[in-house]
Amino acid sequence: MLTIYTSKEYFPQDKKYIADVESLRPLVRLEDNIFTKQVLSKIEKAERQDDTTFIDRFGRGLYVSCLSTGTKTLLLLNNSDLELILNGVEMGSNCWELLQDLEEGFVYIPNKDIQLRRVKEDSVVRVNDTVYTGEDINEALEEARYD
Amino acid sequence: MISISVQDLSIEIKLDNGLYLFISESAAGKTYMGELIKLINSVKPEWSERLVFVSSKSEVDTNSIRLMENGVLILDRYDLYQSKELTDLIVQASKTNIVLLDLKAISRYKLGLVSFCKIERTRNAFKVVKV
């Protein structure tokens, strides 16, 4: 299950926090799965070529290092081997919709206006220390603004 | 407004002096535009004092920012290194320069009057416009 922290006070002590996601750049891979293809298509307007390269919106072949930090964050969150809390502050609002498709991961998003657009009824997300489903996720995120 | 080109690459910033926030969007091209600015500064050093792109605290030269006039200062990834001192400095700099800020969370410090901007890009051209 994805966990979104809106405040650092909820961080569990046994997990390391990564403030700069770009420091994990060597770990970013374009795995051949639906989530990666969606991230590339919706955010980068790009297509996967192989594990380390993609074709950008202008038809150029580029390495994963050229992806936006928001895209890198989503791809790293989808890597279930990483037991880390990633700083999601640099994810643009176009990344938020894809968060609900993640089955694992821990992300810190202090952005006051975060909302999962078009949230699915069966989506399950932990916000800070409580589990929510469907539209309740957005209500929880909204309430967390005033904490 | 500033317009620069090197070979077939160009950057046009169609804004008046002031403080602008990039709209919250990933993959808009900010970092790529920054690399292009660094390239321009290396082949056209006369621009390096008027066109400044920084993406980390270590790249910030506060003395140069204080001396800037009628230039463009772009602070990428500002969420990661915002501070009161630097925010005060860029607010002051925005009175005589175009200051573009990539800040996705709410600022912890007072920014005063801000407008929003976005990048319109084609394969070889970047245009920054007011939203």
Letter for the amino acid at B124?
A: N
B24 at A interface, C-beta within 8 A: yes
Residues in A 14-33 with any Cβ partner in B closer than 8 A: 19-20
Residue listed under structure tokens 């989503």? A74
pTM of the model: 0.93
Weakest mean pLDDT among A32-36, A69-73, A120-124, B20-24: A120-124
| Percent of chain A scoring above 90 in pLDDT | 76
- Is the backbone of residue B27 left (phi > 0), alpha (psi -120 to 50) or beta? left
Residues in B 37-56 with any Cβ partner in A closer than 8 A: none
Nearest CA in chain A to B77: A90
Cβ contacts of B77 on chain A, cutoff 8 Å: 69, 90
Mean pLDDT of A30-43: 97
Distance from A74 to chain B by nearest Cα, in Å?
A: 11
Beta strand pairing call for A47-48 and A84-87: unpaired
From first to last of its 131 residues, what are the pLDDT tens digits of chain B? 889 888 888 999 999 999 999 999 999 999 889 988 998 899 888 888 899 999 999 999 999 999 999 999 999 999 999 999 999 999 999 999 999 999 998 778 899 889 999 999 998 899 999 99
Distance, CA of A77 to CA of A58 (rounded, Å): 27
- Residue B86 to residues B63, B69, B83, Cα–Cα distance (Å): 11, 17, 5
Tokens of B126: 């970047």
**Residue A147 pLDDT more than 70?**
no
Point out the residue among B77, B80, B104 whose CB comes nearest to the CB of A92: B104
pLDDT tens digits, one per residue of A54-112 = 999 999 999 999 999 999 999 999 987 889 999 999 999 999 989 988 989 999 998 87
Phi, psi dihedrals of residue B83, rounded to the nearest 5°: -145, 160
Distance, CA of A38 to CA of A91 (rounded, Å): 16
Look at A94 and B26 and tell me if their CB atoms are within 8 Å.
Answer: yes
Judge contact between B104 and A90, C-beta under 8 A: yes
Residue listed under structure tokens 């069966």? A122
Look at A93 and B77 and tell me if their CB atoms are within 8 Å.
Answer: no
pLDDT, residue A117, reads: 76
Question: How many CB atoms lie under 10 A from the CB of residue B127?
Answer: 15
Distance, CA of A89 to CA of B99 (rounded, Å): 21
B116 at A interface, C-beta within 8 A: no
